[in-house]
Chain A
Amino acid sequence: MLERSHIQSSGFQNVGPAGARTGFELRIRQPNYRSSRLSLIEGVDLVVDGISYPAEQNRIRVGGHEYSHAEMAEETEARLYVGTFFTVIVPKSGGLAPGVHHVASSIRFRHPYFPPQFQPVFVRSERHATIIVP
């Protein structure tokens, strides 16, 4: 089972070849009460140690599939299920330094049954999380 917080401890790591990291990735629990077509998630913005990583640059991995921001917006069949997580992959040359970071996430959720002024809603979470390997 997953941690209660949206942001998960496990899975926070650098990506790309050792010594030449291309970025980092972070797992986020599907925080809504119902599963969601991927097209209903309008993006995931991250802030790590005060630096913004906007949704438009980030890629999302769900199960074994990886989506760009534009691909997510058109994916109306694949779903993100309750009780599962997705992974946000963030481009950042060199990755993040080993150690504890302050991480904040904001998911832009579109609920078509919400009043238009709340489409999307921003589902936010923040906590400390640890990078182990450079």
Chain B
Amino acid sequence: MNAFKYGVSLYSYTDDLGTVMTLEDGFDHVASAGATGIEILGETSIPTYPEPTASWLDTWFALLDRYQLEPTNFAAWVDTRLTIGRNMSVQEGVAQIACDLRLAHRLGFKFMRPKFGVIDDELTPDPIWEPAIERNLDLAHQLGIVIMPEIHAPTPIRHPVTDAYIAFIERTGTKNFGLLIDTGIFQDRPLNKWGGGETEEIRKGALSFLNGIKVPVEHLVDVIKYVPFIQAKFHHIDEHLHDHHIPWERIVPMLKKLGYDGYLSSEYEGARDPWVAIEQVRRQHALIRKLEAEYDATHGEKAHA
């Protein structure tokens, strides 16, 4: 039977990294949670992005070795609205993607998530996304990297944005482009604290996002064949291993049923008080492992070790 791979994104430790946590501390917490994969944000984790120093590269590979973690996804941004008055050209978008692909490869990553600027409230990506990606498909193939835009709230699975990505995969026949599902799309109860950078204006004006867009887990059936990676977004899990916003009890059985065997890479995005994320990530791994074991037990398979 398919078994999940367990990972953690260093995004989980936002605000701790740089104030109360070093990069090595982060590796230690990820490894101690029993994860095998580590996800980073390129321009966050690399102090001199986009050009890491030789000493930072030495540190990176030494930490991977010491903590026995594999690099999973390298998160990157294509900041299309470059200045207030000027948008990125297609050529600049191509160069940005190429830069991040090469850097991700150098660090050992197999996936790269570009986050493009958007042009409307539906989060339609800037139209340069398509040529910027297409002109990098050969490079991604050479480097063995899958480029993945994320399907992220408030954009659901059944939406023109997702349809356009799938049409791109079908048209090009590429194996180097897929969909990253962010489990925040399944959020079905309101957030009282959004750890992604809540402001007064967002609290007042982004209610659908904060309340959850409640995508039915059954919609995964439509797209799972295009999904090589999942960011396991969550915001609060209590001491009874009850998640207050994300319905893991429905997500996990659906992913198991659909044969998903890729990473679930934790993205804690709740209260940003110091060190809270460390325990929250551990609770999430305990919860998902429990649900996976229960599914395996009821379907006649030995639980995932």
Query: Would A34 and B84 count as touching, CB distance under 8 A?
Result: no
Query: Would B44 and A34 count as touching, CB distance under 8 A?
Result: yes
Cβ contacts under 8 Å, B56 to chain A:
none
Of the candidate stretches A10-18, A77-85, A94-102, the one touching chain B is A77-85
Residue B142 is within 8 A (CB to CB) of chain A in the complex: no
Residue B118 is within 8 A (CB to CB) of chain A in the complex: yes
**How many cross-chain pairs have Cβ atoms below 8 Å apart between A and B?**
98
A85: nearest chain-B partner, CB-CB:
B18
Compute how far the CA of A93 lies from the CA of B48 in the bound complex, rounded to whole angstroms.
Answer: 37
Residue B43 is within 8 A (CB to CB) of chain A in the complex: yes
Cβ contacts under 8 Å, A117 to chain B:
121, 205
Cβ contacts under 8 Å, B201 to chain A:
118, 121-122
A81: nearest chain-B partner, CB-CB:
B47
Q: Known contacts being A79-B49, A83-B17, is A33 close to B121, with CB within 8 Å?
A: no
Query: Would A115 and B118 count as touching, CB distance under 8 A?
Result: yes
For chain B, the bracket of interface size reads: 35 or more
User: How many residues of chain A are within 8 Å of chain B by beta carbon?
Assistant: 34
A121: nearest chain-B partner, CB-CB:
B199
Q: Known contacts being A79-B49, A123-B197, A123-B199, is A118 close to B205, with CB within 8 Å?
A: yes
Query: Would A83 and B18 count as touching, CB distance under 8 A?
Result: yes
Query: Would B202 and A121 count as touching, CB distance under 8 A?
Result: yes
A51, chain B: closest CB distance, angstroms: 22
List B residues 46-98 near A (Cβ within 8 Å).
47-49, 77, 79-84
Give chain B's interface secondary structure class. loop
For B81, B121, B123, which residue has the most chain A Cβ atoms within 10 angstroms? B81
Compute how far the CA of A2 lies from the CA of B15 in the bound complex, rounded to whole angstroms.
Answer: 10
Q: Known contacts being A1-B20, A42-B84, A112-B118, is A34 close to B199, with CB within 8 Å?
A: no
Q: Can you name 19 extra interface pairs (CB under 8 A) apart from A74-B83, A82-B17?
A: A1-B18, A2-B19, A33-B14, A81-B49, A82-B18, A83-B18, A110-B84, A112-B77, A112-B82, A112-B126, A113-B115, A114-B118, A115-B206, A116-B120, A117-B205, A121-B199, A121-B202, A122-B199, A122-B201
Residue B41 is within 8 A (CB to CB) of chain A in the complex: yes
Cβ contacts under 8 Å, A39 to chain B:
82-83
Residue B11 is within 8 A (CB to CB) of chain A in the complex: yes
A122: nearest chain-B partner, CB-CB:
B199
Q: Known contacts being A4-B20, A76-B82, A117-B205, is A32 close to B197, with CB within 8 Å?
A: yes
Query: Would B44 and A118 count as touching, CB distance under 8 A?
Result: no
Cβ contacts under 8 Å, B196 to chain A:
33
A40: nearest chain-B partner, CB-CB:
B79
Compute how far the CA of A20 lies from the CA of B188 in the bound complex, rounded to whole angstroms.
Answer: 60
B278, chain A: closest CB distance, angstroms: 15
Residue B109 is within 8 A (CB to CB) of chain A in the complex: no
Cβ contacts under 8 Å, B43 to chain A:
34-35, 79, 81-82
Residue A29 is within 8 A (CB to CB) of chain B in the complex: yes
Cβ contacts under 8 Å, B20 to chain A:
1, 4
For A32, A42, A82, A116, which residue has the most chain B Cβ atoms within 10 angstroms? A82
B17, chain A: closest CB distance, angstroms: 7
Cβ contacts under 8 Å, B15 to chain A:
4, 33
Compute how far the CA of A81 lies from the CA of B200 in the bound complex, rounded to whole angstroms.
Answer: 25
A36, chain B: closest CB distance, angstroms: 8
Q: Known contacts being A34-B44, A82-B17, A121-B197, is A115 close to B121, with CB within 8 Å?
A: yes
Compute how far the CA of A84 lies from the CA of B48 in the bound complex, rounded to whole angstroms.
Answer: 11
25 A–B contact pairs at CB < 8 A?
A: A29-B18, A33-B11, A33-B15, A33-B41, A34-B44, A35-B44, A39-B82, A73-B83, A76-B83, A81-B43, A81-B47, A82-B18, A83-B18, A83-B47, A84-B18, A110-B81, A112-B77, A112-B80, A112-B118, A113-B115, A113-B118, A115-B120, A117-B121, A121-B201, A123-B199
